[in-house]
Amino acid sequence: MTEAIDVDLAGRRLRVGLDVGGTKIDAVAVTPEGDVVARLRRPTGWGAEAVVDTIASTVTALAGEAGIDAAAVSSVGIGIPGLVDVTTGRVLHAVNLGVESLDLADRVADRLRVPVHVENDVKAAALGAAAMREIDGSMAFLNLGTGVAAGIVVDGVIWRGSRGTAGEVGHLSVDPNGRLCSCGQRGCIETLCGGGALARAWAVPGALPVLDILDAAERGDVGARALRADLFNGAAAAVRALVLSADVERVIIGGGLTALGDRLLSGIRTALQAGAEASSFMRSLHLDDRIELLPAGSPAAAFGAALVGAATPLKEIVTHG
Amino acid sequence: MTEAIDVDLAGRRLRVGLDVGGTKIDAVAVTPEGDVVARLRRPTGWGAEAVVDTIASTVTALAGEAGIDAAAVSSVGIGIPGLVDVTTGRVLHAVNLGVESLDLADRVADRLRVPVHVENDVKAAALGAAAMREIDGSMAFLNLGTGVAAGIVVDGVIWRGSRGTAGEVGHLSVDPNGRLCSCGQRGCIETLCGGGALARAWAVPGALPVLDILDAAERGDVGARALRADLFNGAAAAVRALVLSADVERVIIGGGLTALGDRLLSGIRTALQAGAEASSFMRSLHLDDRIELLPAGSPAAAFGAALVGAATPLKEIVTHG
């Protein structure tokens, strides 16, 4: 891309990225230089038609917010839960959205008349986190939300593996006597540090059960202390699995549980240090130094979706950014 | 490489690969077309000097076996346990060989006057197994020997990860109440399916303790049955870890325990099937179809070392082979 075209694009062509979650869509508009110039959060619709509608109207509203014509949007990228066929833009089994099967890319492209690419939400977030943190080598984005999964990015490219399950460490069992997982196995990492599993195990109604668990643990509640230990040990196990299998250089922790802030990061770090205490091999890996927390509210997931939409190599953005 | 040069090399330039184990060196001579034309096994020396000596004399003897002058050897590749710096050819902490620190590549190159490259034995074996099985995409070589480790090969290249620990699934803990591992952690995969850990847990003297365990299990011995279950479940856990983290397409099982033959493969397959029984997610991965056993006595490890020595891309060998 020549400098002249860059300047021309900057004023009037924006990449839009949307992170479509179970309750809200987080949307950003990104310049060709990688600057986020507008951001908007809107509720997600339920079911295929409403998902398409809310995505399309969010793009239009975001363009308005950025003070540009919707026609100036050059590409739309969508990160969405479920099984995504990135070639066709088809989404399957996005159960949190009430979507069983949806030709999402085609449907949104028909509405907006721009190129649309779709990616699994965790993989898109991994790409966005790698770009925003300017990580050149290998990294994993460990998403601690209702469920647990990671996305791996190597040299600025999403690393899918052979069948798209790279980074699915949430369903590695680390305890044969552990809690039953929604996947049918016992003792999966997700049963230890997934927000959904922790809320079910805590079984006390509340808006933010995992926060309640941490608060109760600090007050000395025995059950809460056990669940807090599960949270930190489970996340530490996920970090170990990512490093001892794929050997990513860094693990960036994101997802809804990052609302816990430094309590989460320091808890996971302490669990990793306790593991290293017992083992010189683990000590040599310096895992506690290799993790970081994505700030709560970071637009990384939507930013990554914008990169997916433009099919722009990460390195290009990082160089410009 | 032109055809003319190929023909010229075939007659008089051979790549030698050596898999240096705790008790024996397995050496092969490989033509530029990837054909193994000679093979020799010799006892390994103990300690740095003896290791260098036995490697050098094995190369000379192998050339003799192949009916060529030692000067016709174009490169030597060495797969060896321990921490290997592939750039310098230095080996650290090869405890099974009595080697604390050794400039192996330089020392052997001084003796033989050929280029020498050194690689970790499991990584070299992974490369060799991928080449011999003509695997184009991604694969892991899961070495079940005294210890447990895997090497990952993607598109014909050893995948090291950021710090060389890619594939070190032997030290993932899968049971917080499991046996203490020599690494200091509890419940590592290696405590379940490593030959060393199984022999210690069995605690009955014998030349082939893991074979004794299987035989005793078949006679109904309760302790042996538990250890047999550990072996199969541990190896299944390693396969799951490799697929759910790095998502390799295939897992080839090698190492000393392959002497157990089909009893090993069918046991691991049954353990994977039992896990898939409980979980539709695991079922969708078809793990039982994605594993295979390297035949006992396969020269894959030495063959891989020969590829390392010649620094030849795998694809070139596969195309010719």
B87 touches chain A (CB under 8 A): no
User: Which token pair is A78?
Assistant: 């969508």
Q: How far, in Å, CA of A257 to CA of B31, rounded? A: 57
Could you tell me which chain A residue has the CA closest to the CA of B175? Answer: A175
Question: Residue B131: inside a domain, yes or no?
Answer: no
List the single range of A54-68, A231-245, B249-263 with lowest mean pLDDT.
A54-68
Judgement on whether residues B194 and B78 belong to the same structural domain of the protein: no
B174 touches chain A (CB under 8 A): yes
B242 touches chain A (CB under 8 A): yes
pLDDT level of residue B314 (50, 70, 90 thresholds): very low
Judgement on whether residues A305 and A281 belong to the same structural domain of the protein: no
A278 touches chain B (CB under 8 A): yes
Q: Do A282 and B171 touch (CB under 8 A)?
A: yes
pLDDT level of residue A5 (50, 70, 90 thresholds): very low
A173 touches chain B (CB under 8 A): yes
Chain B residues with beta carbon closer than 8 angstroms to that of A148 = none
pLDDT exceeds cutoff 90 at B62: yes
pLDDT level of residue A6 (50, 70, 90 thresholds): very low
Q: Do A172 and B240 touch (CB under 8 A)?
A: yes
Of residues A10 and B37, the one with the higher pLDDT is B37
pLDDT exceeds cutoff 70 at A7: no
Judgement on whether residues A288 and A306 belong to the same structural domain of the protein: no
Q: Which residue has the tokens 């990104």?
A: A30
Q: Could you read off the pLDDT of B193-247 as tens digits, one per residue?
A: 999 999 999 999 999 999 999 999 999 999 999 999 999 999 999 999 999 999 9
pLDDT exceeds cutoff 60 at B12: no
pLDDT exceeds cutoff 80 at A313: no
Between β-strands A138-144 and A250-254, what pairing exists: parallel, antiparallel or unpaired? parallel
Of A163, A242, A244, the CB nearest to B247: A163
For position B66, what pLDDT does the model report? 80
Judgement on whether residues B188 and B94 belong to the same structural domain of the protein: no
For position A71, what pLDDT does the model report? 78
- CATH number of residue B163's parent domain: 3.30.420.40
pLDDT exceeds cutoff 90 at A320: no
Judgement on whether residues A120 and A176 belong to the same structural domain of the protein: no
Q: Could you read off the pLDDT of A149-158 as tens digits, one per residue?
A: 999 999 999 9
Q: Do A174 and B174 touch (CB under 8 A)?
A: yes
Judgement on whether residues A61 and A23 belong to the same structural domain of the protein: yes
User: Mean per-residue pLDDT for B164-179?
Assistant: 96
Structural domain count of chain B: 2
Distance in Å, alpha carbon of B161 to nearest chain A alpha carbon: 5
Q: Do B241 and A163 touch (CB under 8 A)?
A: no
User: Mean per-residue pLDDT for A74-97?
Assistant: 93
List the single range of A17-21, A188-192, A294-298, B314-318 with lowest mean pLDDT.
B314-318
Of B165, B184, B244, the CB nearest to A169: B244
pLDDT exceeds cutoff 90 at B7: no
Q: Could you read off the pLDDT of A210-257 as tens digits, one per residue?
A: 999 999 999 999 999 999 999 999 999 999 999 999 999 999 999 999
Of A165, A181, A285, the CB nearest to B247: A165
Judgement on whether residues B163 and B73 belong to the same structural domain of the protein: no
- For chain B, give the percent of residues with pLDDT over 70: 93
Question: Residue B111: inside a domain, yes or no?
Answer: yes
For position B9, what pLDDT does the model report? 39
pLDDT exceeds cutoff 80 at B5: no
Averaged pLDDT of chain B: 91
Question: Residue A176: inside a domain, yes or no?
Answer: yes
Q: Could you read off the pLDDT of A104-125 as tens digits, one per residue?
A: 999 999 999 999 999 999 999 9
pLDDT level of residue A67 (50, 70, 90 thresholds): confident
Judgement on whether residues B281 and B160 belong to the same structural domain of the protein: yes
Question: Residue A143: inside a domain, yes or no?
Answer: no
Question: Residue A71: inside a domain, yes or no?
Answer: yes
C-alpha pair distances (Å), A141 with each of A114, A293, A300: 29, 10, 10
Could you tell me which chain A residue has the CA closest to the CA of B177? Answer: A175
Judgement on whether residues B82 and B203 belong to the same structural domain of the protein: no
B177 touches chain A (CB under 8 A): yes
Q: Do B169 and A240 touch (CB under 8 A)?
A: no
pLDDT exceeds cutoff 70 at B317: no
Q: Could you read off the pLDDT of A256-286 as tens digits, one per residue?
A: 999 999 999 999 999 999 999 989 899 999 9
**Single-letter amino acid, residue A62:** L
Q: Do A282 and B137 touch (CB under 8 A)?
A: no
Q: Do B242 and A240 touch (CB under 8 A)?
A: no
Distance in Å, alpha carbon of A275 to nearest chain B alpha carbon: 7
Could you tell me which chain B residue has the CA closest to the CA of A249? Answer: B162
User: Mean per-residue pLDDT for B280-300?
Assistant: 94
Judgement on whether residues B201 and B289 belong to the same structural domain of the protein: yes
Strand, coil or helix: A313? coil
Q: Do B275 and A185 touch (CB under 8 A)?
A: yes
Chain A residues with beta carbon closer than 8 angstroms to that of B176 = 174-175, 233
Q: How far, in Å, CA of A123 to CA of A159, rounded? A: 9
pLDDT exceeds cutoff 90 at A95: no
Judgement on whether residues A223 and A316 belong to the same structural domain of the protein: no
For position B10, what pLDDT does the model report? 43
Predicted complex ipTM: 0.90
Q: Domain limits at B282?
A: 136-293
Alpha helical stretches, state H, A69-181 = 104-112, 121-132
B74 Cβ contact partners less than 8 Å away, ≥ 6 residues apart:
B9, B13, B14, B15, B114, B115, B310
Question: Residue A255: inside a domain, yes or no?
Answer: no
pLDDT exceeds cutoff 60 at B126: yes
Judgement on whether residues A107 and A190 belong to the same structural domain of the protein: no
Q: Could you read off the pLDDT of B66-89 as tens digits, one per residue?
A: 888 877 899 999 999 989 999 999
User: Mean per-residue pLDDT for A187-209?
Assistant: 96
Question: Residue A225: inside a domain, yes or no?
Answer: yes
DSSP letter (8 states) at residue A48 = H
